[in-house]
A = this chain, B = another copy of it.
Amino acid sequence: MGNQQKIDTIRSHIDTIDSAILKLLHKRLGYAKEIGRLKKASSRGIEDREREEEILQRLLSENSELLSDKTVETVFTAIIAACRRSQ
């Protein structure tokens, strides 16, 4: 197999992964909306920041050396903010 063919094959794996991530994002957003409905508006601000910190710490502890902690923070901060906006 030539390099270009190998690249094309790997790219189709990446496409599959991206679609799976997108599906998980849809699911996550559904849950975030549910939480938004259940939460009292009053305590939301502080609790949200604590929860965001907790999520990031948990994921950093699960991170591999392959991916930088900075990347995990950037990607998940974007995910969390997006879900929060849609709550």
CA distance A32 to B71 in the complex (A): 14
**Hey, which chain B residues are within 8 Å of A63, CB to CB?**
22
A7 and B39 form a contact (CB under 8 A): yes
Query: Known: A74-B82, A78-B75. Is A14-B28 also a contact (CB below 8 A)?
Result: yes
Query: Which chain B residue lies CB-closest to A79?
Result: B75
Interface size on A, as a range, is: 35 or more
**Hey, which chain B residues are within 8 Å of A74, CB to CB?**
78, 82
A68 and B51 form a contact (CB under 8 A): no
- Interface positions of A from 1 to 55, Cβ below 8 Å from B: 3, 6-7, 10-11, 13-15, 17-22, 24-35, 38-40, 51, 55
B19 and A59 form a contact (CB under 8 A): yes
A3 and B62 form a contact (CB under 8 A): no
B82 and A26 form a contact (CB under 8 A): no
